[in-house]
Amino acid sequence: MHILVIGLGNMGKKYLSKLEELGKPPVLCDRDPNKALDNYPFYCHLEDIEEDIGAVIIAVDPKDHVKLAKSFLDQGIPVLLEKPPALTHLEFMQIYHYPDLYISEIESFSTCLSYFPKDVKTLSIERLGKGKGYVSPLWDLAWHDLYLLQIFFKEIEIEYLKVDNVWEIKGKADTVDFTIRVAWEYPNPSRRWVINDGSLVLDFAKEEVWEDGNLIHRGNIDKLGAMVKAFLSGKFDGKSKERALKNIILLEGVKY
C-alpha cells in the first residue's frame, strides 16, 4: 500500500522527505504539474490515481482541507491533516467524527515537554518564524502553542490580541496569565517558552532546556519524522482532533 501526499509546498516536501527516510513508497498529488518528480507516481487530479492508498497526508491550503480529507475518510483511509484543519468549527465538524482522522501536532513530540513544571506563575511564549503560512501568524504559528497548552491546562482563554509586525496574544491558562508573540518572516527566528520569569526556558527550536541560565537538557529528535512514524504505525494521539477543535473555537472568537 502507498502513502499519498497531497500538496508539494513547503510542508508537503518535508513529509515526502520523511517518507523517503522511512522507506515508505509515496504517491504524490499537486495541482501544479511542474512539481512532478520522476521517481514517484504523480497526479494533478485525485480521480486519476491508480495505486492502492493505505494512508494520506494532506498539506494544502486549509480552505481545501475538509473536502479532501473527507473523500478518503469516507473510504476508511487514515488521514493526517496539516494544521489548521479547517477555518471554522462548523466546517471541521464535517470530519471530526471519523476515527481515522489525525491533526498535525509536531511540537507534541518535543523532548522539552517533560520539563514543564507543575508550579507555573508566569509564561511568556515566542514563535517567530522565517517562513509564511496560509492564514495568519495567529492561526499558523500560535496554533502550536495553543495545543501544547491544552496538554498542561484544562481551560485556555484568549483575552487580547495586538496586530503589528509581531502579533501579541494575551490570555489565561487556568489561573496562569500567558503571552504569545508570533510573526512571519522574522529575521531572528525563535520558538521558546520562558517560564517563571526566565528561571526555566524550553527552546523548541534547539530542543534545549535551560534552568537558571544552565543547560540541563539537549534533545536529539526528529519531531516531524517521529510524528509521521506514529501516524503510519497507528500510535498517533487520537486526541489531536479534540485539541484542534478547541483551537479553532478559540481562534474563531478572536477579532482582528
* pLDDT value at residue 1: 84
- Nearest alpha-carbon partner for 98 in 114, 77, 84, 117: 77
CATH label, 111-220, candidates 3.10.20.30, 3.40.50.300, 3.40.630.30, 3.30.360.10: 3.30.360.10
C-alpha span between 65 and 85 (Å, rounded) = 6
pLDDT band at 25; cut points 50, 70, 90 = confident
Task: Indicate if the pLDDT at residue 193 is higher than 90.
Answer: yes
* Joined grid coordinates for residue 91: 466546517
User: What cell does 253 get?
Assistant: 472568537
Q: How confident is the model at residue 218 (pLDDT cuts 50, 70, 90)?
A: very high
State mean pLDDT over 125-152. Answer: 96
* Cis, peptide link before residue 84, omega less than 30° from 0: yes
Indicate the CATH number for domain 2-106+225-237.
3.40.50.720
Residue 171 pairs in a beta bridge with 158, 178
Paired strand residues for 176: 173
The residue to which cell 540541563 is assigned: 216
Mean pLDDT, rounded, for 212-236: 97
41/45 Cα distance (integer angstroms) = 12
pLDDT band at 250 (very low <50, low <70, confident <90, very high): very high
Residues 34-69: pLDDT tens digits?
999 989 999 999 999 999 999 999 999 999 999 999
- How much is the pLDDT for 38? 87
Render pLDDT for 140-189 as a digit per residue (tens, 0 to 9). 999 999 999 999 999 999 999 999 999 999 999 999 999 999 999 999 99
Q: What is the mean pLDDT of the chain?
A: 97
Average of per-residue pLDDT across 11-28: 96
Helix (H, G, I), strand (E, B) or coil at 47: helix
In the chain, domain spans: 2-106+225-237, 111-220
Q: Is 39 exposed, middle or buried (0-12, 13-18, 19+ CB in 10 A)?
A: exposed
Mean of pLDDT values over 110-117: 98
Buried b (16+ CB within 10 A) or exposed e, 45-65: eeeebeeebebbbbbbebeeb
